[in-house]
Amino acid sequence: MNAIISASDLAGALSGPRPPVLLDIRWQLSVAKAAGEPPFDGRAAYEAGHIPGAVFVDLDRELASAPGGNGRHPLPDLEVFGAAMRRAGVSADRPVVVYDGGQGWAAARAWWLLRWAGHPDVRVLDGGLAAWEGPLRTAAVPEPAEGDFSPVPGALPLLDADAAGALARSGVLFDARAGERYRGEVEPIDRVGGHIPGAVSAPTAENTGPDGRFLPAEELAARFRALGAAEGREVGVYCGSGVSAAHEVLALAVAGIPAALYVGSWSEWSSDPSRPVAVGPDPQ
């Protein structure tokens, strides 16, 4: 099953006999406080206009635990996550489509969590809300019937810090952040800049075109193969806090390449001064 869905196919599915559960995951990585601006409000954006029938899910509160030693967006408490999904109407036998404002990172985080927790049928709206050409709803907030989804983790591979460090040596570990953060030239969020020794720079932004839609599967596959994802080689991905890396895992899935996610990512790795840090354009 394809992990993404086009806006036209979603419109058809929503009008069909078995419409998917639709989740709105509006979120943005923000360093706005440093600029004196208010943080992005995903719920306000949802209330200003969402695809009819969509239920808002809060990434920071429902798709992650509180920031701490395990990173800025650690895995959520399974009871909190499961309750949020059931509140949104998610059931094990009903397809789910997730979308965000267009960047795709937040939607991919929801996709990855649901798939990791055992849901068999989850897709991301390719291009997000920006690709949707149908009507938007503002006033009506749906109250779906309670779903029955119960998370059973382990359906997708997961890395911790030790496993990520080892994979950078034994397989290929992609760093999905912007190149300047990988090289250690700037670090606007975490304690120190640089990358996990042995990791390969593979910015998430290069997986999509100007419209925010994924590149064709064959182009994605060629990109990842050129970066070292040879057939039979174990692949993992990390980013700053496990959000944009989920988008890269999704891109790899579109390309037909399975990959593990290091959820703690650089925010966890760099918080421990005993862990090694590499700088510059080369993996080592």
For the chain, 284 residues long, the average pLDDT of each consecutive 10-residue run is 94 94 91 62 92 96 95 96 97 97 95 98 97 88 90 97 98 97 94 96 97 97 97 96 97 98 97 96 92
In this structure, what token pair is assigned to residue 190?
A: 């975490």
User: Does the CA dihedral 65-158-179-277 come out positive or negative?
Assistant: positive
Determine the Cα–Cα distance for residues 210 and 91; give it in Å rounded to an integer.
34
**Would you state the pLDDT for residue 284?**
85
In this structure, what token pair is assigned to residue 142?
A: 């749906």
Domains with residue ranges and CATH for the chain: 4-131 (3.40.250.10), 158-269 (3.40.250.10)
Q: Is 239 considered catalytic here?
A: yes
**Would you state the pLDDT for residue 84?**
97
> Which one from 239, 243, 255, 261 is the annotated catalytic residue?
239
**DSSP label at residue 2:** -
175 CB-contact burial (10 Å; exposed 0-12 / middle 13-18 / buried 19+): buried
69 CB-contact burial (10 Å; exposed 0-12 / middle 13-18 / buried 19+): exposed
Contact call for residues 245 and 204 (beta carbons, < 8 A) = yes
**Would you state the pLDDT for residue 31?**
55
Predicted model pTM: 0.95
CA 101 → CA 106, 127, 174, 189, 243, distances in Å? 9, 8, 25, 22, 14
CA 195 → CA 245, 246, 259, 265, distances in Å? 14, 18, 19, 10
